[in-house]
Amino acid sequence: MRQLNASIMAQIIALKCPSCGAHLEKNEMKCQYCGAELVLLPDNSAFSLRSQSACPKCGSINEKSSWFCLNCNTILTKDTEMLKRIQKKAKFNQEENEKLFASKVPLQISLAPDEFFHMTFSKEQVKNFYAVTNKRVMQYVNGKYNEISISDIVAVYPPKAKPKLSKSSLVLLAFVPTPLNFETRFEIEIKTYHGLEKLEEIRGDPYYCGLFYAIILRTVEEYEKGTKNVLHFIMKLPLDE
C-alpha cells in the first residue's frame, strides 16, 4: 500500500506560477492566466520569474511580461482582445460550474454573491460531487451533503488511495507495476478547528485528484494571506465588452 501511494503521489505533483499562484504543467514556460514568463528550476521542483518590473501605477513588482498587475488590476499589455477572451472563458466556466452544482446537489444551498468556484470534481464521480470555492469545500456523497468552511481549515493531508483490490492483488501490485484504473478510490483528510473531516469515495485519474487537493491547499493559503485567486482578478479586469 505504501508503494501504491508513493506511485500515486509521484503523479499528482502540481507546480505553481510564482506570480499569480495558478497551477501549471512543467512544460508551460508562460503562465496562461497572468502572462508571466517563467523558468523551471534545474531540479524541476518549481518555477521562477524570468525577469521583473514595477507596475507604473502602484509600483508593485510583477514579471516583466505579465498582462496585468496583481495588486491594482492595471492592465499592462496592449493585447486586450486576448484578455477579453480569457475573461469571457473565466465567466463561462463559472456559470457552467454553478449549473453543475445545481444539477448535482438537489438541495437549497445558496452561493454567496462573491463566491467563486475554483474547481469542481464531478466527471468521474457518477452522482457524487466535490468542489472548492473561495468560501468552502463541498462534498455530496451517496445523497449526503457536507461542507467545510475555508476559514475553519487548519491542515489538508495528501490523498490516500483506497483501491478495491484483494490482499493478494495488492501483494502482486507491489512486485508487478500495474496501471491505475478508474476503480481506484481516494480519500482526503482535512483537519479543522472542530475535528477531522474526510472527503471520501473520490475516484478517477490520480492527477486530477492531486490537482483537487492542491487547489484546496492554495485556497486555504490565499485565505490565510488575504489574497485573491488570479481568476478573481481576471473576472474583474476593467475591459470593454
What residue segments make up the domains of the chain, in order of their start?
2-236
DSSP 36-94: -BEEE-TTSS-EEES-EEE-TTT--EEETT-SB-TTT--B--S-HHHHHHHHHHHHHHH
Give the other-Cβ count within 10 Å of 15's Cβ: 19
Q: How many CB atoms lie within 10 A of CB 118?
A: 19
Nine-digit cell string for 107: 438541495
pLDDT at 5: 54
Cβ count near 103 (within 10 Å): 10
Tell me the one-letter amino acid at 33: Y
Q: Give residue 155's pLDDT.
A: 97
pLDDT of residue 135: 95
pLDDT value for 170? 47
Longest dimension (CA), the chain: 64
Residues with pLDDT less than 70, the chain:
1-14, 163-183, 240-241
- What type of residue is 80? T
3-state secondary structure 11-30: HCCCEECCCCCCEECCCCCE
Can you give the pTM of this predicted structure?
A: 0.75
> Tell me, what amino acid is at 175?
F
DSSP string, 177-199: -----TT-EEEEEEEETTEEEEE
DSSP letter (8 states) at residue 134: S
CATH for 2-236 (3.40.190.80, 3.30.530.20, 2.30.29.30, 2.40.50.180): 2.30.29.30
Q: Name the 3-class secondary structure at 144.
A: strand
| pLDDT at res. 206 | 84
Residue 231 is inside which H or E element, if any? helix 230-236
Burial (CB count <10 Å: 0-12, 13-18, 19+), residue 229? buried
| pLDDT confidence of residue 146 | 94
Given a contact cutoff of 8 angstroms between Cβ atoms, the answer to whether 195 and 1 are in contact is no
> How far apart are alpha carbons 223 and 82 in whole angstroms?
29
Nearest to 188 by CA among 157, 215, 214, 163: 157
